[in-house]
Each structure stands twice: as C-alpha cells, then as structure tokens.
Chain A
Amino acid sequence: MLGNYFYHEIIRKTVIAFGTLFNDIHVRHDDGVGNVISEIKVPVAYGPRQKFLARIQQQPELNKATQITLPRMSFEITNISYDATRKAGITQTFKAADTDDGGKLKKVFMPVPYNLGFELNILVKLQDDGLQILEQILPFFQPGFTLSIDLVKSIGEKRDVPMILNNISQQDDYEGDFSTRRALIYTLSFTAKTFMFGHIAKSPEGLIRKVQLDYYTDTNTQTAKRVQRYTVVPKAKKDYNEDNVIDTKDEPFIEPGDDFGFTETSTFFGDAKDFAPNRGVDI
C-alpha cells in the first residue's frame, strides 16, 4: 500500500553525525611531576556489530595476551520515537531542486519529526581517564549541541539536528570481593532530534497546453454575466509535423524546453452561459 521504494539513509547519517562528535577525544597521563608520558586518542565505534566480523577482525590471532585495550567509547541507538512537539502540517510542502533528476524542481512534503535515542558508553580503566573524557564532552552540551546535517543529499536538504544530552550515569563496581574486576563505565544518554523524509516524487513532465480565463461583470458569478474570455495556447515556431507549414497542427508536438511562442485570443460574449470545466463546453 505504501508503495514507492526510497531510502535516504537518514538514520545512518544521524549515527555518523553523532559518532563524529566524539572521535577526537584524548586522554593524557603524566609522571607525577608534570611531564606528559602518554597521550591516547580514545577509540570510538558504533557498538552493535556482526559477531563473526568482530571476532575475525579484532581477534585474528586466537591467542591474545590481553583482555581488552582501554579506554574505549561505544554508542548505539536505543530507541526511535515520534516527536509530536515538532509536528508540521501534513499538507505543508516546500520546493527543492533534485540533483538526482536533472535539477528539476520538486515538491517535497514536510519531513516527519523523529527522536533517535543514543547511548554513549565510556569504558575506562582509570577514574581519571573517565573524568578527562567527560570534561571534554560536557561543556559542549547545554544541554544540546546542534549539528547541521545534509539529510537528503539529492535535494540538498540540510536540517539542524540538536543532540540533547539527557542524562549521565556512572557504574563503578569497586565494592565487593576481589574475584570481580572493578568496571568503570560512564553512560551518557542523548536524544537526536532528526527528521524522516518520505518519497520525493518524480514531477510529471508536461506543458500547459491551454489557459482559459473568463471575465464576469461582477464577482458573484451566479448573477453576473460573463463578458470576455481570454485564452492562451502555445504557438509553434517550427514545423514539427514536416508538412512544410507552421500552423496549429504543430502545436501538440511542442515539448517542454522547446522555443515556442503564445497565441492569445480574446472573445467577447453577450450570453448568460458559463463554462463547464468537466465537459469543456459552455452551458
């Protein structure tokens, strides 16, 4: 029923935009007297992945000496929900040039507002690492940071997508027996206020073949009489049907983009008829 295939990769693009916010965060260590002894750029990745791919990529050698390398950040989509507060009129449209269709002007319906819930997890070995990472993130979110994302490339539709930081939670299992390792995980939950675009319809190609306008003596067409009809039709400027004469028989062959003129006709009436658009005659 819904029909047309389309895929703007909007959710994927929102994931990419979210990921790029956190791909340049560093952690430094010093030797206690002020000398920096290491600087690490914290790896970040989208958490969900194919299991076999993770195994063969991250553990090609089956024997691995260490458990994991830290610190690391991972994020994933946790929920997708409709945002009624940003709802636009369902019949509201805007115009945009479609680069996938020769730059033709398209009528695009307003996108549907959706919120994507993201969870950014930070796993650190040291509390100090976690604090360094957090402090590099938090000042940018008050509570949101807005990214301008090109959601539908073909129509160049850039939308401001606020990434709202909702909540920060910390897991620190430092209590208990020594058989379990202390796990230090910071979890930041975000909401990305993105938009879903529907199918961008191909515009029907065609030429307006006739424009007809009737003038009345008054605005009340029930009582007023018509007095004049103004008609405009395209006028051919070359011999389309190759009959060695340029006349009205060439007019049906005029294509959009051709060089053509117009034939304007004014007709005056003394009758009391009206034009019936469904039947195409005066009654």
Chain B
Amino acid sequence: MALNPYFLQGSRGEQRLVQSLINEHLKIYGQEVTYIPRKFVNQSTIIEEVTASKFDDNFAVEMYVNSYDGYSGAGDVLTKFGMSLRDEVELTVSKERFEEFIAPFMDASDDIDLASRPREGDLVFFPLGQRLFEIKFVEHEDPFYQLGSTYVYKLKCELFEYEDEVIDTSLDIIDTQVQDEGYIATLQLVGVGRTAQATPILGSGYIREIFLNNDGSGFTGTPTVAISTSPSGLPLDNATAVAITTTRANVTSIEKILLTNAGAQYTSPPIITISGGGGTGAAATCSINTASNGVIRFVMTDNGIGFGTAPVVTVSAPAAGIASDRAIGIASIGDAGNGFNRVNSIFVQNAGIGYTSALPTVTITNPETISGVGTYQFNEIVQGMRSGTQARVKKWDADTGILSISNVGIGTTTTGFFKGEDVKGLTSGALFSVSIYDKDDSTDKYNEGDIFETEADAIVDFTESNPFGTF
C-alpha cells in the first residue's frame, strides 16, 4: 500500500484536526478585520448590475494576510481621472469560522440571498491603514484538498471604488472613512429664531371689511388699489390696501384685497378704485364702522426672524367677548437680508368691531425654530420640513453649523432645500434652520466643474441660454 497506513487520508477526525490547527494559526498570526456583506438595494435587469447597495452589518473575524511584505497591486497611480489607489491584498479566512460565525447571520438577513460563503462584492475593512477592500474573487480550493477537504477561503481583494453607497456599520472607524468621499452637498445651518411682535392701532370710522364685487381678469402685474381719502385730512387716517392676485387656468385675477390701514374718521364708505396691472373689470366696495373702535392697522415693534411660513396673528376679542367681532390680521413674511425670513408687515383682513379704547393684545405664533436643538447623527436621514427633501448626513460640525450631506433627493422629492426652512434629523430629532444650501460639491479635490463655469462666464457667450444647465 502506497499511502501512509497511520492516516485514514480524510477521516472526519483528521479533517477536524487540520481545521482546528488552521483556526488556531489564524487566531495567532492573523489580523482582526471586519467583514461587511453587501446588501442589494436595487438590481438592474437586462444590464445586469447592482445599481444601489448598502453596507450596514459588520462581523469581526480573523484573517491572515498572505502577502507579508505589503500590499500587492500597482500602488498609488495618477490616472487621467485623478489619483487612483490600486492596492490589493490577499486574505485567508477559516472556512469553519466563516460558516459558523458569519454565514448564519447573513442567512438571517432578508437582503442577502447567498450567505453560505464569502461573496465577491462584499467588503473587508483592513485595520492596518484603515482600508476598505472589496472582494473580487474567492478561491476555495487553495490549498488543494488536504486530507480530502478544503479548510480556508482565499479572498483576493482590491480597494473599494466608492460611489454613493451607504456604509452604516455602526462602527465609527469604518463609517467615517467615506464621510469626505462621494458627492457631498453642504447646508449652512443656524439655530436662530425670534418671535415677532406688533402693536394694534385703534380707531373709529374705519373700513370694516372690503367686498370684492368683481375679481377682474387678464392681470399681468399687481394692480393698484386706491381708496378715497378720509375727511379728517390726516395722512394716517387714509385707508390703504393691496391686492393679491391669483392665477387659475392661465387667467390672473384678484384673489383678495387686504388693508394695510383700515383708515379712520370716515363718515361714509369711501370709493375703491382698482387700476393698473394690465387687467380689467375688477371692482370692490366696502363697509365702514363709526359706532365703535376697530384695529385699523398694526405697527411692527419686532419683526422677528426665522420664519419658514407666515405665522398666525391672533388679536384678542373686544370687551364684549364676542369672538366673531375680533379683528383678524394676516402676516406677510419676507427675506430679512441674512437668509432668513422676518415678518414684514401685518395686513388687516378684518378690523373687528366693538373695541373700546383699551388696546387688544396681538399674539404672533413662534417661528418653527427658536433655537437649534440636538446633534445630527452620522448616516441618519434629514428632511427639510417645507421642501420635504431628504438627504443623508455625512458630517455635522456643530461649531460651524455646517452639515455635510449626500444623496440629496432620497425619497420622491428632489427639489433641494429651501432657504429658511427647518432641517430635522429623523433619527436624532435635531432641528436647525437652513441659511445656505450649496448643492455643489466643494470637498472633491478632483472636480473642476465650478472653475470651468466661472471662467467660461467671462468668455463664452450664452446670450440666449445655456443648454447644458442653469448653473
């Protein structure tokens, strides 16, 4: 008999012995790496490729570095696409350790179909040098059937090509490796917000309400509303109003007329004239009240700051306490010049009736964010509270208020963030207001798109339009 009679040449006991020796060897001489399986978010048919992936599991396991004298591969090279790191490494992992320690967890995941072996496309985080390697080939027959079995997988890996994959393993040392990689937009956030305050001015002989008898049509601009002057002759007693237009079915008409000053000392209803704006047919009348006081206008004592939407203005009811007699104000917001909205003025929609000389109180609801709260978490989804735009957090710098985000437009809304809106962390609950939204990537040292644009503005004549974009 040619074979050694003291061995059975492949009994289970012999194979277990070899496997145990290999496991022990790897635990002694190996490196503790992190195995990160790829989960398919979207797999394209016809053009067979996984167009979206995420990596949100991690398994610490020992692997042996086969090339003891460093990475193999071409190293760092300069290509026409910028720097490319072509490091490669070959790692050996125990077959038994993988199948007992990692495979069951992968198998339990709904997102992973093949769980019985290491897979091409999965990642290995290599702690020496903090590199993310992608497995490009799994060799399972090297060494070739010792005692009738194989005991290890050899993983041929090269550095990961990153695009927009979500790497959220919950291990900071891994997740933060790509926080400056990929297409990153920035939000300059500020936690400012201040309630606006206004004082009501009372008067009698005022316009109680304006009735829009005919909303007109064909307006191309905002018409002017002129109201005949008060008999008192005092400028502040003259009623003034503005028209708000609306467009329906391509026809622009007047939606409503709001008083900026309800006037005072009128003895008969004044005449309202609507002119300009390119439209015709609009007409309005009004009723006046001479019996009691009403809120004829509002004086802003503090315009406030940080309003995403117009706040609600509530005026206290007159002394008689009849709710329907109370005055109604409508706030108008606009840019305060620093990127945030303030209350510019409060229109009188209804001056109310039955007020005495005692000033009613005016309450204006708070802006959405009085002060920024919380800390955005890495990789969480943030959402603009007005635009509905979602994005994923790359980095949050609380000192500068700069939130780096990627994947802007997650979900169905891709409009981008609005200036002045609140951005909420859907996991952390952090809430700040947007001062500046910069959709261009300023962290990518390769991209020169902005530079081309700036330089081209001076020499290229896009007189009519730039067909290649607005930017």
Contacts and interface: CB of A to CB of B under 8 A. Distances in A.
Interface string B232-269: 00000000000000000000000000000000000000
Interface in A10-48: 13, 16-17, 19-25, 28-32, 34-41, 43-48
A67 B444 contact: no
Given A36-B412, A38-B406, A45-B447, A16 B455 contact: yes
B156 A178 contact: yes
B49 A22 contact: no
Contact of A58 (B440, B445, B449, B471): B445
B453 A20 contact: yes
Contact of A158 (B82, B450, B461): B461
A65 B130 contact: yes
B49, B86, B456, B458, most chain A CB atoms within 10 A:
B456
Interface in B423-462: 439-441, 444-450, 452-453, 455-456, 458-461
Contact of B459 (A13, A39, A177, A179): A13
A181 B80 contact: no
A202 to B, nearest CB: 24
Interface stretch (A71-79, A213-221, A222-230): A71-79
A48 B41 CA distance: 36
A29 B412 contact: no
Interface residues of A, number: 68
Nearest to B182: A69
A161 to B, nearest CB: 9
A71 B163 contact: yes
A13 B455 CA distance: 9
Contacts of A44: 447-449, 452
Interface residues of B, number: 70
B160 A67 contact: yes
Interface string B9-45: 0000000000000000000000000000000011110
A149 B80 contact: no
Contacts of B181: 65-66, 69
Contacts of B461: 147-150, 158
Interface stretch (A125-133, A236-244, A263-271, A273-281): A125-133
Given A24-B469, A40-B164, A67-B87, 15 more contacts: A17-B456, A17-B459, A20-B468, A23-B450, A23-B452, A24-B449, A24-B468, A35-B410, A35-B411, A39-B409, A41-B183, A41-B449, A43-B183, A66-B161, A148-B463
8 contacts: A28-B409, A37-B41, A38-B409, A39-B409, A45-B446, A59-B85, A65-B177, A69-B181
Top 6 nearest A-B pairs (CB, nearest first) are: A24-B469, A43-B447, A23-B449, A178-B137, A65-B177, A20-B456
Interface of A: 13, 16-17, 19-25, 28-32, 34-41, 43-49, 51, 54-55, 57-59, 63-72, 74, 76, 121, 123, 125-129, 131, 140, 147-151, 153, 158, 177-179, 181
